[in-house]
Amino acid sequence: MFMAQWADRTFSQISKNQPLTRSMQFNPCDYNWLMNPHNKTCMLQRYNKIEWQVSADFFLMRAFMDASIRQRLGDCQRFLLEISRDNILDDSLNKIVHVLPIEDHDPLKLPISARFAGEPGVDEGGVRKEYFQLVVKELLNPNYGMFKYNEDVQLYYFNGMTHEPNIYFELIGILMGIAVYNNTFIDLPFPMACFKVLMGQEPNLDDLRQW
């Protein structure tokens, strides 16, 4: 019951482009210790589906009225990501980092559908998962020098002496976001300090000792 009430309220606020509020009603998100990991995952997936529906409805209506949006997006129900296996990093930069919002709505909030150039097949989730695995592996490749690898703890950390442009690091951040948004697991073996910084928390000495 709580999940249904939360979903209805969230859908109403997102569809009206309103900020998410907790209101005076009981909200399980305020008490994360009440939910086990499975329930938290279910809530995140429900939220993602709400965002997908609202985004798809918006882009479908705009594409109906504006031919340039139809040409730009193609399928307004999903974000089609066609990339080359041989040029996966540059293709990802061009087709993800440089995506521009349309009237404050981000096309990356549509469900992602991946396709490798020259390969047949419909993405039912497996191709998308493979894409994330390959592009993250490429970004962590020692040849780029973006990260240092500690073999003792099998973790990566940022290389402060790298000569790669900052836009590659921006790509990693966007990939992390859209992977979560598309309910796709990606392996990012970073120390806890990195994730605490992303969550706005202050790392402590124990976190630094991990590296």
Q: Where are the domains of the chain?
A: 1-72, 78-211
Q: What's the confidence (pLDDT) of residue 104?
A: 81
What pLDDT digit, counting tens, does each position of 118-165 carry?
887 666 678 888 999 999 999 888 888 889 898 888 999 888 888 888
pTM for the model? 0.76
Q: Are strands 155-158 and 79-83 parallel, antiparallel or unpaired?
A: unpaired
Do residues 77 and 60 lie in contact, with contact meaning Cβ atoms separated by under 8 Å? yes
Q: What's the confidence (pLDDT) of residue 84?
A: 92
Length of the chain as a residue count: 211
First-last CA distance in the chain: 44
DSSP string, 78-94: SEEEEE-GGGHHHHHII
**Which CATH code fits 78-211?**
3.90.1750.10
Alpha-carbon distances, residue 112 vs 142, 154, 165, 171, 198 (angstroms) = 28, 30, 26, 15, 23
Three-state SS string across 50-72, please? HHHHHHHHHHHHHHHHCHHHHHH
